[in-house]
Amino acid sequence: MTPRAIAWFPFISMLAVVGLILSGCAPTAAPKTAGEPAKAAPAATPKPAADAGQPKYGGILTRWQTEDPPSGDPNQENTIQQQLSLRPIYSAPLRLDPEKLPKEAVLQGDLAEKWESSADGKILTLYLRDGVKFHDGSPLTSEDVKFTLERMKSPPEGVKSPSKELFQRIAKVDAPDAKTVKIELVRPTAWFLQLLADSISGIVPKSIVAANQKALLQKPIGAGPFKFKKWDRGIAFETTKNENYFIKGKPYLDGIRCLIIPDATTQVAAFRTGQVLFTGQGTRGLTMSESKLVERDVPGTKIVSYVSTTRQELYMNVQKKPFDDIRVRKAILMVLDQKAAIDAGYEGSGSKGGPLAAEWALPETELNKMPPYRGVKDEDVAAAKKLLADAGYPNGFETGFNQGSTPQYEEMQLSISSQLRKIGINTKVRVLAYPVEMRAAAAKADFDVMQIPKISSLHDPDSYWTSAITGGSDNFAKFSDKTIDDLYAKQAATLDVAARKKVNDELQLKIWELAPSWPVLWPRYIAAAWPTVKGWNGMAVLRQNLEFDYIWLSK
């Protein structure tokens, strides 16, 4: 199959319209339709992105992260800290062409040399490259790919699978020979190839993990361009060059050293002085103010602004009083001000909206009925107070509020807490390190109110709704409603885009009605690299361009 452009055009276009593009992230091409017949063709070998001069070998790329990665297992965590640390270590079946990003998101082979789909779109066949080895020297075969996909579809006891619902689109996986993987889908699925290019699809060695599902938690073993070297928790996570990488001539770097720097001021100072050459990504990349400082102090710095498939979400624990009462939940959402949270946490760099964005978003006429989107009015505050009084809380109440440890989380919490005080709800803030402590508390429903990213692997409703369906991997509110589950199943089985959009509109309105959670904002992020970092053009969407085999240092 020839490289394929995937679905980011509508998503990027929507954010461009609201005037938030900082540095020319151009739209990408629209996807081909699901079920389209495809002929097998060699996958393109990744090349360094266009940059002045010939690529040079050697050097250590330094960058920052606010926290350690949650673990060394690529399938069990989905945070950006995990993706940044582990994507260079673990190869996936597919990847995105770094030379085309950020203008186009074009799929190309990673472990798969070529691939093809059946005429009905239900059978995908991957043909693996020759001679691929894991970092321990063992061969990577179709059995490893089969094992990894099945592990994510049906995780064993004690194993997390944050994208489990997406992998359950697989009916079965066969490995007819060492180089061939045949994936049968429950139904044709437009986004499935994108999933195979995501970091969550990093292939793990069956021979090691089948015997011990915890084997990779502390010591990652993949087949990517860089090998795990050292992990000093709270200090640094380090990799070294894989001399036996299956793409000849890559990688250029001798290694990558990620410094764990919790403090934002220290992070930016380390970049401005050249102690790190590459910023973090996601929430703790750069703010707009910091990007201006960097641009001034490090001439020639490459600064990239990009969107995310992840939204910041406000959850209420429906298993606890008073949040088991829909009137209390509705009152809280009626005074949630998305614009205020965007201005406070991201200096205005983000967008308002419902649970789905871009082409899946609710019509403006519906969104404008909702106080978080259109802005909170005095009558909304009065109505919220009445709801609380009807629920037995005429004077409000005090509640816990789990807050992430980075500055953006504090600012968003302050904004939300300020809104809640208008209706007599006072928050007792509990600061937790993000992602490890924060997501652990979320998974155990150890919170009253919490604002945390709803991480999505893909820009598709199937990925976004895992926060709302019964037993969903991101359903931290522990909410369950049969109507929601039925609508989710209906939209997932609907192939016609217009018909599927109508079902998803209905689903979004039902979420607003039942109020288990609601988006705080859709953020826009900024990352930067020193001018000595070559071959990196950035990304259009968070989670892209993380392999780093094509990056080189000019000195």
Ranking 85-89, 187-191, 237-241, 396-400 by mean pLDDT, the lowest is: 187-191
- Verify that 493 and 539 share a domain, yes or no: no
Of residues 436 and 29, more confidently modeled: 436
CATH number at residue 123: 3.40.190.10
Q: Within this chain, do residues 131 and 250 fall inside the same structural domain, yes or no? A: yes
The pLDDT assigned to 460 comes to 93
User: Are residue 177 and residue 230 in the same domain, yes or no?
Assistant: yes
Q: Give the model's pLDDT for residue 29.
A: 33
Q: What is the pLDDT of residues 302-330, one digit of tens each?
A: 999 999 888 999 999 999 999 999 999 99
Distance between CA atoms of 81 and 435, rounded to whole angstroms? 8
pLDDT of 42 reads 42
Q: 536: number of CA atoms within 13 Å, CB side?
A: 30
- What's the CATH number where 348 sits? 3.10.105.10
Query: Is residue 280 one of the residues assigned to a domain?
Result: no
The answer on 544 and 491 residing in a single domain is no
Given a cut of 90, whether residue 45 has pLDDT beyond it is no
Same domain, 209 and 323: no
How confident is the model over 85-103, as pLDDT tens digits? Answer: 999 999 999 999 999 999 9
177 burial type by CB count under 10 A (0-12 exposed, 13-18 middle, 19+ buried): exposed
Q: Is 70 exceeded by the pLDDT of residue 3?
A: no
Q: How many domains does the chain have?
A: 2
pLDDT at 399: 98
Residues 335 and 421 in one domain: yes
Higher-pLDDT residue of 17 and 72 is 72
Whether residue 394 is preceded by a cis peptide bond, meaning omega within 30 degrees of 0, is: no
Return the HEC string of 367-423. HCCCHHHHCCCHHHHHHHHHHHHHCCCCCCEEEEEEEECCHHHHHHHHHHHHHHHCC
Three-state SS at 49: coil
Domain that holds residue 161: 4-262+525-553
Separation of alpha carbons 2 and 107, rounded Å: 8
The pLDDT assigned to 174 comes to 98
361 and 475 part of one domain: yes
Cβ neighbors of 152 (< 8 A, separation 6 or more) are 75, 161, 163, 164, 167, 200, 201
Say if residue 336 is in the same domain as residue 433. Answer: yes
438 pLDDT higher than 90? yes
Confidence at 445, pLDDT banded by 50, 70, 90: very high
Contacts of 279 (CB under 8 A, 6+ apart): 63, 64, 267, 271, 285, 286, 527, 528, 529
Band of pLDDT at residue 436, cut at 50, 70 and 90: confident
Mean pLDDT computed over every residue of the chain: 90
- Cβ-in-10-Å burial (0-12, 13-18, 19+) of 458 comes to buried
477 and 545 fall within a common domain: no
The answer as to whether 267 is a domain residue is no
Within a domain: 549: yes
Does residue 285 lie in a domain region? no
Res 23: pLDDT: 29
What integer is the mean pLDDT of 94-116? 94
236 within some domain:
yes
> Are 199 and 80 contained in the same domain?
yes
User: Which of the residue ranges 11-25, 201-215, 373-387 would you say has the lowest mean pLDDT?
Assistant: 11-25
Q: Is residue 362 situated within a structural domain?
A: yes
540 domain-assigned: yes
Average pLDDT over residues 67-78: 94
Please compute, for residue 52, the number of CA atoms within 13 A of its CA located in the half-sphere on the CB side. 3
Q: Report residue 437 as tokens.
A: 């402590």
Q: Find, among 186, 153, 149, 191, the residue nearest to 30 by Cα.
A: 191
Is there a single domain that holds both residue 378 and residue 481?
yes
Query: What pLDDT, on a 0 to 100 scale, did the predictor assign at position 442?
Result: 95
Let me know: does 113 contact 127? Beta carbons within 8 Å.
yes
Domain-embedded: residue 93: yes
DSSP state of 284: G
Is the confidence at residue 129, as pLDDT, over 90?
Answer: yes
Q: Are residues 540 and 510 in the same domain?
A: no
Q: Is the pLDDT of residue 1 over 70?
A: no
pLDDT band with cut points at 50, 70 and 90 for residue 283: confident
Q: What is the mean pLDDT of residues 425-438?
A: 94
The yes-or-no verdict on residue 14 having pLDDT over 60 is no
Q: What is the DSSP string of 466-495?
A: GGTSTT-TT-TT----HHHHHHHHHHHT--
